[in-house]
Amino acid sequence: MPGYSYDKSGQKICDQQIIEWIYRLIDGEGFSYGYRKLTILLKRNYNLVINKKKVYRLCKQEGQRIPCRTPNKNAHIESFHSILENDCLSRYEFQTCAEAYEKVSDYLKFYNYENQRDKTIVSKVWGLTRI
């Protein structure tokens, strides 16, 4: 039985369209995101009125790998390093230090301004301010 959600204008959006958008996000900037981050991106990019439970169900229904959360209150820097590795460093092969510096700087701008992650990790651990 096909389901649907609404966008902010009140228009019905079928689940199949939402699934296509999820795949598009996963293929793009959301490749390592879980269902919570995908929910934020669906709301932001497609003006959907949708909750994380529905996104989780759609991802599970489609067999999408949903990254699990492993809380560790004393591992802020390891958490940030893992995020940096997964979202930035593993995507490129750097030829020079300058190239690596540029990509990491670009990622930090993305992380601080466009991404919805908890920004306290960077600011608390590294004492960084927004770029």
41-52 confidence digits (pLDDT tens) = 999 999 999 999
Check pLDDT > 80 for residue 101.
yes
Query: Residue 79's pLDDT is what?
Result: 76
Encode the chain in three state secondary structure. CCCEEEECCCCEEEHHHHHHHHHHHHHCCCCCCCHHHHHHHHHHHHCEECCHHHHHHHHHHCCCCCCCCCCCCCCHHHHHHHHHHHHCHHHCCCCCHHHHHHHHHHHHHHHHHHCCCCCHHHHHHHCCCCC
Domain ranges within the chain, ordered by starting residue: 4-61, 76-126
Mean pLDDT for 4-20 is 94
